[in-house]
Amino acid sequence: MNHPSDTFSTAVLEQIRRRSGDPERRILFRGATIVTMDPSLDVLEHGDLLVEGTTIAAVGPDLSRDDAVAVDASGTILAPGFVDTHRHAWQAQLRRVMPDVDDLAGYVNATLAGYATAYRPQDMYTGTRLAALTAIDGGITTLLDFSHNSRSGEHSDAAIEALADTGIRGVHASMGPHFGVWDRQWPGDLTRLRQQYFPSDDQLLTLRLAALATDEIAGPALAYGPELRCAAAELGIGVAVDAVIGATSSQAVLRWAREGVLGPDVTLIHSTGLTSEAWRAMADTGSTVALAPTSDSQIGLDTAIPAIDESLAAGIRPGLSVDVEVALAGDMFTQMRTLHTIQRMRAVNGSYGGEGKEAPARIGTRDVLDFATLQGAHTIGLGRTTGSLTPGKKADLLVIQAEDVNNMPLNDPIGTVVLGTDARNISAVLIDGEPRKWGGLVLDTDIADLREQVRASRDHIVRATANSGSSLAR
């Protein structure tokens, strides 16, 4: 077996990049353990995967193409790229400024009513780019950026251009800001964004309308309902609805069902503390669900319990999301492990002292990897594009070193991906067939320059909000 540094060398990368953009370029990964997350293919213990242009052309044993760049992938796991169904990427330069925030109000007051108001377009660009590059480093190949600080058209442009510059498969979900001065161009500006950046649905970046579940936080203008549904339908785009939590959101869900504004192109985020009637309405309309395991539990949203059992009981297999890096970890491994642990703890605990109450079945590592890949893609409308290593889908994939010290020996590949692996084990990331991480390094990124931009942006925000009493300013 070749050493990883030989297999994922600059020389091999140069061979691949020499024909970058060529629809007939072929890359053949050989001898890997392939976790396809495609129910019809399952796991191949010793298999090959062929990429042609942007697409997975074939998966199977002993594939052969003389014109392909051959990559010895023995000792590795090939897996689909993770799908983050909801992250506020613009906040990345404020990472962990409030690691022990106690509730939603604390987050809202400090971040959305404070720091957000100081953002310039260049700060939107810097935060979004940092979040996307970090996502790629950790194996997230698809990111729904819930961009709810669109203070002007220029702010939206900057966020979209940041996603484009990283090469991530991105969904720009646009929403106006909660507080402060802004141009009030949203949602009308979505028409321009659609025409300028998203003329096709068959491209690396796509567009969604973002909204809040209720008017409790920021008033009626940002709350989802028939008017915003109409705006999205006219543009042919889906909808992402955040802060779907508690009794008032349950009432909103039932109202949306009556109004006919739910459906498979509507994603409901968090879905914590909802009534059984609301879950039935969501299931009946085919609406999708994005869970945020660490956000719900660590910040404490409504019940503080990720709604995995409720979702599965309703027949909805959810996607997973990071949410806010101001207080939380930014990787999908943390989301999978947190959900896996919390659900199994609840399932076991439910069997004690609950006479006549049937405890939910325990989920497994295959379930949470499914949520982080295939179901995540389905959740945000990209199930036919990505989420599994299925021939015909786009080549969004990870190469994981299975023989690194924290993973060896390879016994159960799915268990290794979910419970053993972290970003240091990811040797390569391909998005749309293009290497975005290789030899353990994110490509086309000057880290020193990025660091300077991030610090300068953060320092501007600190100075601009110095009189607000924020914890960061102090």
Q: Is 463 within a domain?
A: no
Closest Cα to residue 147, out of 106, 103, 197, 72?
Answer: 197
pLDDT of residue 5: 60
User: Are residues 215 and 141 located together in one domain of the fold?
Assistant: yes
User: Are residues 128 and 207 located together in one domain of the fold?
Assistant: yes
Q: Is the pLDDT of residue 149 over 90?
A: yes
Task: Show the domain range for 434.
Answer: 4-81+387-442
How many independent structural domains does the chain possess? 2
Q: Is the pLDDT of residue 291 over 80?
A: yes
Confidence of residue 186 (pLDDT cuts 50, 70, 90): very high
User: Are residues 399 and 305 located together in one domain of the fold?
Assistant: no
- Residue 144 · residue 108 · CB < 8 Å: no
* Final residue belonging to a domain, choices 351, 379, 407: 379
Q: Is the pLDDT of residue 424 over 90?
A: yes
CA 190 to chain centre: 22
Q: Is 125 left (phi over 0), alpha (psi -120 to 50) or beta?
A: alpha
Confidence of residue 65 (pLDDT cuts 50, 70, 90): confident
User: Are residues 217 and 324 located together in one domain of the fold?
Assistant: yes
Q: At residue 221, what is the residue type?
A: A
User: Are residues 224 and 345 located together in one domain of the fold?
Assistant: yes
* pTM for this predicted structure: 0.96
User: Are residues 196 and 97 located together in one domain of the fold?
Assistant: yes
Sign of the alpha-carbon torsion through 18, 19, 21, 25: negative
Token pair of 205, please?
């970046």
In sequence order, which residues have a C-beta less than 8 Å from that of residue 450 and are 6 or more positions away?
Answer: 129, 130, 133
Q: Is 450 within a domain?
A: no
Q: Is 100 within a domain?
A: yes
* Final residue belonging to a domain, choices 379, 410, 434: 379
pLDDT digits (tens, 9 = 90+) for 360-415: 899 999 999 999 999 999 999 999 999 999 999 999 999 999 999 999 999 999 99
pLDDT digits (tens, 9 = 90+) for 429-465: 999 999 999 999 999 999 999 999 999 999 999 999 9
357 vs 110: CA distance, rounded Å: 41
Task: Average the pLDDT over 33-46 and give the result.
Answer: 97
pLDDT digits (tens, 9 = 90+) for 76-130: 999 999 999 999 999 999 999 999 999 999 999 999 999 999 999 999 999 999 9
User: Are residues 24 and 111 located together in one domain of the fold?
Assistant: no
Domain containing residue 411: CATH number:
2.30.40.10
Token pair of 196, please?
């300028």
In sequence order, which residues have a C-beta less than 8 Å from that of residue 415 and are 6 or more positions away?
Answer: 365
Q: Is 466 within a domain?
A: no
13: helix, strand or coil:
helix
User: Are residues 128 and 215 located together in one domain of the fold?
Assistant: yes
Q: pLDDT above 90 covers what percent of the chain?
A: 92
The CA-to-CA distance between both ends of the chain, in Å, stands at 53
Q: Is the pLDDT of residue 352 over 90?
A: no
Confidence of residue 473 (pLDDT cuts 50, 70, 90): very low
Closest Cα to residue 326, out of 346, 355, 299?
Answer: 299
Q: Is 162 within a domain?
A: yes
Q: Is 242 within a domain?
A: yes
User: Are residues 252 and 401 located together in one domain of the fold?
Assistant: no
Domain containing residue 121: CATH number:
3.20.20.140
Task: Average the pLDDT over 3-30 and give the result.
Answer: 88
- List Cα–Cα distances, 85 to 54, 145, 286, 293, 374, in angstroms: 22, 8, 17, 12, 11
pLDDT digits (tens, 9 = 90+) for 216-245: 988 999 999 999 999 999 999 999 999 999
Q: Is 339 within a domain?
A: yes
User: Are residues 121 and 9 located together in one domain of the fold?
Assistant: no
H helices then E strands: how many in the chain?
A: 16, 17
* Final residue belonging to a domain, choices 379, 398, 421: 379
Q: Is 461 within a domain?
A: no
pLDDT of residue 354: 59
pLDDT of residue 468: 57
User: Are residues 219 and 362 located together in one domain of the fold?
Assistant: yes
User: Are residues 299 and 422 located together in one domain of the fold?
Assistant: no
